[in-house]
Structures are given as C-alpha cells and as structure tokens.
C-alpha cells in the first residue's frame, strides 16, 4: 500500500515513560482519546443532572436521597430548592454544550483521525495540541469546582445572561464565586478550542501527504476543517465576552450592567452598561456553536453512510459546499436567539431571513443522504443505525426550526418547552448520535477490538425510541404554553400537563439507563472484544490502511502516497467493491 521508494518520515521515538505516553502526551491519538474520555465523563455527569431535574419537575416535594450531600443549602433534606434547580440547569447546559458536544465530535475524533486521514504523522503543533487539552481539562475542573463551594453553581443558565450573571451575590445563589468559576472555566475552554482550531487548520493545509489533494480529503476531514474555521472565529468572540464579564464582576467595570439597577434592595454601583451587548457577543458565538457540534457529526455520518451503503453519496461536492455555506451563514443568524430581547424589531426581520436561508443547505444535505440511501444495499450494523438515527433526529429537530425562525411565532414559543425540544433534537441528540455512530465505527481502529454489535443495536433502539419519547412531547408542551426554566408547575393551567411531564421523566430515566449499556460495551470490548482487523468495514480512507490501533507514528514509518479519492465504493477493486485511497491499482474503467 505504501510507496517503498518514499523516505521514512518518522524520526523521533515513542515516549516510554507512562507520564509522557499517556498523560502529558503530544501524540494526537492520545490527545483525541483524552478529549473523548473527558466528554464521556461530562456526558454522564450532565445526564445525571438531567435525571435530577426531571425527577424534581414531577415529584417536586420528594426528597432525592443523598442530594443534600452535594449541596446542604441547595437541597435541604434532599429536596431541591428552585434556585438549586437552576444551578443544575446551568451545569447541565454548560457541560453538555461545551464539554460534550464540542469535545467529542470535533476535538476527540478530529484529533485522533484528522492527521491519519491526511497521511500525517501528527498535528502541526503537537505541544500546542497537548496544551489545548490540558487547558480544557483545567476549565472542566474549574467548572466542576462550583459544585463544591458554599456558593454553589451559578443560576444564570449556560447562556449566562447579563446583568444576572454580572452583578454578583446580590442576585442569588451561585452568583458570587460560582459565576466567577463559570466565566473562568469558559474562558479557559475558549483558549483550548482556539489552540485546537489553529492546529486543525494548519495541519490540514500543510501536512497532507503526497497525492492528498483537497478534493481527495475524506468528508469527515472536510467537516473537521470547516468546523475548526467556524470555531476559530466563534471562540475568538466568546473569549472577549468572558473577559468583559469577569471584569464587570471583579474589577467594578460596567460593560454589561446598566445604571440604577437595584437588586435585593441594593443599588448596584455600576453605570451605563448594556445587557444586550452580552447577548450579542454570546450568540455571535452561540449560534456557530450549534454548527461546531453538528458539522463534525454531518461529516462522521456521511463518512459512515458511504461505507455502509457501499456507494458514494449522490454528490459529495454539494455536501462540501453545503457545509461551507452553513459555516458562513452561521455568523449571520445570531439575532434569532434574541427576538424577545428588546432588540429593534426591524433587526428581527433581518435575522429571520438568513435563518430561513440556512435551512436550505441543511435540507440539501439531508436530501442527498436520503436520495443516496434509496436503493442502496445498506449494511445494518450499529454505526449505520446510529447514522440513520442521526438523520431522523436532525430532520425532526430541524423542522421545528422553521417555526422558530419567524419572529411572530417565536415570540410565543421562545419561552416555552418548544425551544427546549427543538435544540435538544437538532443540536444535542443529533450530535450525540453522530458521536455514538463514530464511537462504534472507529472503536476497532482506536483499540484493535470490535464493540459488541448486538448490544450496540439494543443500545440504539432504546436510545432512538427514548429520545423521541422525551423530546417530541416537549413540542406539544410548548404549544400548550408550558414555560421553560420553571422548577415546578404549580400554576393551574400547567397542572393538566403534569402527566406528560411524568411520561417524559420516566422515558428520560429509561433512556439514560440505556446509556450504561453503551458504557459497559465500551469498557468490556476494550479488554475482551473480538480482535479487529485493520479494515473491518471495508472502508477506503487512510486510517484503514494502517494497523488497529495505529502505531505511534501512524503508518509504521511508511510515507503514504494517495492515488484515489476517498469515496471509491461500488467499484471493482482488487479486494472487493472498494478501492483504498493509497491502493496502487489503477482507477476503475469508466470512473
């Protein structure tokens, strides 16, 4: 497969000491696994927080055994206070959006596979890469520390709207040091992501092996590259926002806090700041963040689907173009999160238009997927099931976006569970399905062992049916006027909706429990799974041309030479109906 005449590129030995090999490693594969591990820890913490919240919503006065140990003030006797509900809401959102949906599909899989897929030995800046993970890890620890300080986690939500997030302890629990920790954590996270994005871009531009032209990049690499461009500009705006927020909180400046603000009978010593400014800065990051989570998942799912369908997508280039268009438009739509903010109503119209436009490339990608699957001889293994599940939830969540893009409808729906259902489907669950598809697909390459496919399918069906049982009723609740962010539903008009909430809570408990099947499968298969061949899926990209798991330098000293595109499926190749990218065989006739 390799070019024997090419020079051996690997000149530095693999570290032998544990600390340099597995902890402070500059190897992109170890860093990818570290990001993935951090996302795994975060997702289970975030999921358990959602269990606690769902339990409290329907059994408001019931004690949750042991919760008082987590927070004496927030849950006296194990019964959650309304404020502590908001604290858990903040932590759930922050963990999930930043440390799961950004870390796993982009930083995790991207770090592991981008260099291999382009035939490189490592990232362009390996030490920056290591730094990016460790800064992110410190950010995670700083965030989690908020659970263990007397003040507790902040109550301002993952969006940390000012002035609530900016004024300090007068405004409620968690808004003294809890909010400081949040802002520092997210600031650190931004630094980590900027370093990561820089690495991804420079690596893709400069370290491609011989023959790996841009048009021969696998679609997953395209997705990570586009995401790193989006992330570079988005996190570069959130970081200044965090700096301004921290200064307002600790240095007495007035960037976000208006004059004459009285909280808890205490006139705040600030003047002239603009709470709306925080929202603009935050959502300028916040909307592209949706695509930072979803574009890698689009790439991963497209990559897996082609290997499962045994044929290329109808038009891969149109998918590339659509992803780039989505990335570009993602910077023009942030105002649709602010229709209710008091922003000029004419601005709402301006933001509504590109919001509707951005659905076009997303729809094109979906149509290409569905059109490509039609008539394909699909291999139904766990990765392909999760890829199909991704398409389903992406469409289910995307359709409700049409409603919310229109200011007149959004004004009614924005403060309700409709929005919660929308973003959980289209961003949260869809990206999670992409992560799970990628996990089952690339686990053999990362560990040299297969995950159990039967348990994978059991996991899929519990998860797929479960997420619909949880999030589809949210839309109904929203139409019925069920407000979000409330910790209990004591108003008369909300009482009839409680049975729906009970159904959702039970579904959430079962679906959450099903994730332990995945966790068990992951851990068990790591040690006891069936040995994986180098290319168990008959796939074409370069990661399948090396051993499972790959050696320290990725290709065992071989200098890879690429001769084919990444989507050579359904052809007469030497080894079956595919041709690997580095295969010396000629292009098939008529191709």
Structure tokens at 100: 């799961």
Q: How far is the CB of 556 from other proteins (least distance, A)?
A: 14
The CB density around residue 374, as the number of other CB atoms within 10 Å, is 9
Q: Minimum distance from CB of 251 to other proteins (Å)?
A: 5
Q: Which is nearer to other proteins, 184 or 458 (CB)?
A: 184
- Answer for which of 45, 49, 52, 120 binds other proteins (CB under 8 A) is 120
Contacts (Cβ under 8 Å, ≥6 apart) of 491: none
In this complex, which beta carbon is closest to other proteins, that of residue 127 or of residue 485?
Answer: 127
Q: Which of 255, 283, 440, 462 binds other proteins (CB under 8 A)?
A: 255
Tell me if 271 contacts other proteins by CB under 8 A. Answer: yes
281 binds other proteins (CB under 8 A): yes
**Cβ pair 102, 200 in contact under 8 A:** no
* Residue 152 Cβ vs other proteins, minimum distance, rounded to whole Å: 27
Q: Can you say whether the dihedral through the CA atoms of 368, 370, 376, 381 is positive or negative?
A: positive
CA distances, 443 to each of 296, 389, 391 (Å):
17, 19, 21
Cβ distance 476 to 420 under 8 Å? no
Residue among 90 and 254 whose Cβ is closer to other proteins: 254
Binding segment (CB under 8 A) for other proteins, from list 194-202, 427-435, 460-468, 533-541: 194-202
Residue 579: name the closest of 590, 565, 591, 589 by CA: 565
Q: Which helix (H) or strand (E) holds 243?
A: helix 219-250
CA separation for the pair 312, 215 (Å, rounded): 14
Residue 127 in contact with other proteins, rule: CB under 8 A? yes
Cβ-contact 164, 97 below 8 angstroms: no
CB of 206 to other proteins, least distance (A): 4
Q: How far is the CB of 22 from other proteins (least distance, A)?
A: 20
Report CA 258 to chain centroid distance, whole Å: 34
Contact 342, 276 (CB under 8 A): yes
How many amino acids of this chain bind other proteins (CB under 8 A)? 48
409-440 burial: b if 16+ Cβ within 10 Å, else e: ebeebbbbbbbbbbbbbbbbbbbbbbbbbbbb
- Rounded to 10°, the helix 177-206/126-145 angle is 160
**Which is nearer to other proteins, 85 or 278 (by Cβ)?**
278
Give CA–CA dist 22/29, Å, rounded: 10
Report helix, strand or coil for 570.
strand
Residue with Cβ nearer other proteins (252 or 586): 252
In the complex, what is the shortest distance from the CB of residue 282 to other proteins, in angstroms, rounded to a whole number? Answer: 11
From candidates 38, 101, 142, 244, binder to other proteins by CB under 8 A: 244
Site string for other proteins, 492-531 (x = CB under 8 A): ----------------------------------------
- Identify the residue among 88, 100, 122, 433 touching other proteins (CB under 8 A): 122
Which range binds other proteins by CB under 8 A, 6-14, 73-81, 338-346, 465-473?
6-14
Listed ranges 83-91, 248-256, 362-370, 400-408: which one lies at the site for other proteins (CB under 8 A)? 248-256
Verify binding: residue 364, other proteins, rule CB under 8 A. no
In whole angstroms, the minimum distance from the beta carbon of 242 to other proteins comes to: 11
Q: How far apart are CA 132 and CA 193, in angstroms?
A: 7
Q: Which residue is listed with tokens 């929202």?
A: 279
Residue 213 CB: number of other CB atoms within 10 A? 10
Q: Of 59, 125, 476, 524, which lies in the binding site for other proteins, with binding defined by CB under 8 A?
A: 125
Binding residues among 164-183 for other proteins as defined by CB under 8 A: none
Of 61-69, 191-199, 217-225, 481-489, the window that binds other proteins (rule: CB under 8 A) is: 191-199
Q: Does 111 participate in binding other proteins (rule CB under 8 A)? A: no
| 9/465 with CB nearer other proteins | 9
Paired residues of 573 in beta bridges: 576
User: What CA–CA distances, in Å, run from 138 to 30, 181, 194, 438, 449?
Assistant: 17, 11, 15, 26, 31
Closest CB to other proteins among residues 279, 541: 279
Q: For other proteins, which residue of 284, 394, 417, 443 counts as binding (CB under 8 A)?
A: 284
Closest separation in Å from C-beta 69 to other proteins: 40
Task: Indicate whether 2 belongs to the interface with other proteins (CB under 8 A).
Answer: no
Is residue 181 within 8 Å of residue 146, measured between CB atoms?
yes
Note whether 313 binds other proteins by CB under 8 A.
no
Could you say which of 137, 145, 232, 469 contacts other proteins (CB under 8 A)? 232
Find the binding residues for other proteins in span 9-28 (CB under 8 A).
9-12
Report, in Å, the least distance between residue 433 CB and other proteins.
30
Query: Does position 342 bind other proteins by CB under 8 A?
Result: no
Least distance (Å) from other proteins to the CB of residue 553? 8
Tokens (6 digits) for 68: 């008082």
Beta-carbon contacts of 327 under 8 Å, excluding residues fewer than 6 positions away, are 226, 227, 229, 230, 288, 291, 295
Nearer to other proteins, 4 or 251 (CB): 251
Two structure tokens written together for 177: 């040091």
Taking CB under 8 A as the criterion, the residue among 243, 263, 378, 469 binding other proteins is 243
- Asked if residues 421 and 474 have their Cβ atoms less than 8 Å apart, the reply is yes
Residue 207 as a binder of other proteins (CB under 8 A): the answer is yes
Rounded Cα gap, residues 480 and 464, in angstroms: 25
Q: Distance of alpha carbon 256 from its chain centroid, rounded? A: 28
Near other proteins by CB under 8 A: residue from 102, 197, 302, 439: 197
Q: Which of 253, 325, 359, 547 binds other proteins (CB under 8 A)?
A: 253
Note the residues at the interface with other proteins (CB under 8 A): 9-12, 120-122, 124-128, 194, 197-199, 201-203, 205-207, 232-233, 235-237, 239-241, 243-244, 247, 251-255, 259, 271-274, 276-277, 280-281, 284
């Amino acid at each position: 497969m390799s070019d024997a005449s090419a020079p051996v590129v690997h000149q530095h030995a693999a570290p032998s000491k544990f600390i340099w090999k597995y902890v402070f490693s500059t190897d992109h594969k170890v860093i990818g696994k570290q990001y993935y591990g951090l996302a795994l820890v975060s997702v289970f913490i975030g999921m358990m927080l959602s269990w606690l919240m769902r339990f409290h919503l329907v059994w408001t006065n019931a004690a949750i055994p042991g919760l008082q140990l987590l927070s004496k003030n927030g849950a006296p006797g194990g019964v959650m206070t309304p404020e502590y509900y908001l604290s858990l809401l903040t932590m759930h959102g922050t963990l999930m959006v930043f440390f799961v949906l950004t870390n796993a599909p982009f930083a995790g899989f991207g770090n592991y596979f981008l260099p291999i897929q382009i035939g490189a030995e490592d990232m362009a800046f390996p030490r920056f890469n290591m730094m990016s993970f460790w800064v992110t890890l410190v950010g995670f620890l700083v965030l989690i520390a908020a659970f263990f300080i007397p003040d507790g986690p902040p109550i301002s939500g993952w969006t940390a709207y000012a002035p609530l997030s900016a004024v300090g302890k007068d405004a409620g629990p968690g808004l003294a040091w809890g909010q400081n920790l949040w802002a520092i954590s997210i600031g650190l996270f931004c630094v980590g992501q900027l370093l990561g994005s820089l690495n991804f871009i420079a690596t893709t531009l400069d370290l491609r092996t011989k023959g790996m032209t841009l048009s021969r990049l696998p679609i997953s690499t395209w997705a990570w590259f586009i995401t790193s461009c989006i992330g570079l500009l988005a996190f570069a705006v959130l970081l200044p926002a965090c700096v301004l927020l921290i200064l307002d909180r600790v240095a007495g400046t007035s960037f976000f806090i208006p004059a004459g603000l009285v909280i808890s009978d205490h006139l705040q010593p600030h003047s002239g700041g603009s709470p709306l400014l925080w929202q603009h800065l935050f959502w300028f990051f916040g909307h592209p963040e949706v695509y930072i989570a979803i574009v890698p998942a689009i790439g991963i799912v497209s990559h897996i689907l082609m290997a499962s369908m045994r044929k290329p997508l109808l038009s891969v280039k149109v998918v590339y173009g659509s992803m780039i268009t989505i990335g570009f438009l993602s910077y023009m739509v942030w105002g649709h999160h602010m229709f209710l903010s008091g922003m000029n109503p004419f601005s709402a119209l301006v933001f509504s238009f590109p919001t509707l436009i951005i659905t076009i490339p997303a729809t094109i990608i979906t149509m290409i997927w569905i059109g490509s699957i039609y008539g394909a001889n699909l291999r139904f293994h766990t990765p392909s099931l999760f890829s199909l599940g991704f398409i389903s939830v992406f469409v289910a969540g995307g359709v409700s976006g049409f409603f919310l893009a229109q200011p007149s409808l959004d004004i009614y729906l924005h403060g309700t569970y409709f929005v919660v259902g929308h973003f959980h489907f289209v961003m949260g669950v869809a990206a999670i399905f992409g992560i799970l598809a990628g996990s089952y697909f690339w686990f053999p390459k990362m560990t040299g062992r297969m995950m159990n496919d039967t348990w994978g399918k059991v996991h899929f069906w519990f998860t797929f049916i479960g997420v619909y049982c949880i999030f589809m009723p949210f839309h109904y609740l929203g139409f019925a006027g069920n407000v979000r962010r409330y910790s209990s539903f004591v108003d008369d008009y909300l009482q009839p909706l409680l049975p729906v909430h009970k159904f959702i809570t039970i579904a959430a408990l079962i679906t959450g429990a099903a994730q332990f099947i995945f966790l068990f499968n992951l851990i068990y298969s790591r040690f006891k799974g069936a040995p994986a061949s180098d290319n168990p899926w008959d796939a074409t990209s370069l990661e399948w041309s090396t051993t499972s798991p790959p050696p320290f330098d990725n290709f065992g000293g071989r200098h890879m030479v690429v001769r084919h595109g990444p989507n050579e499926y359904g052809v007469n190749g030497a080894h079956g109906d595919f041709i690997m990218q580095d295969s010396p065989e000629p292009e098939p006739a008529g191709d």
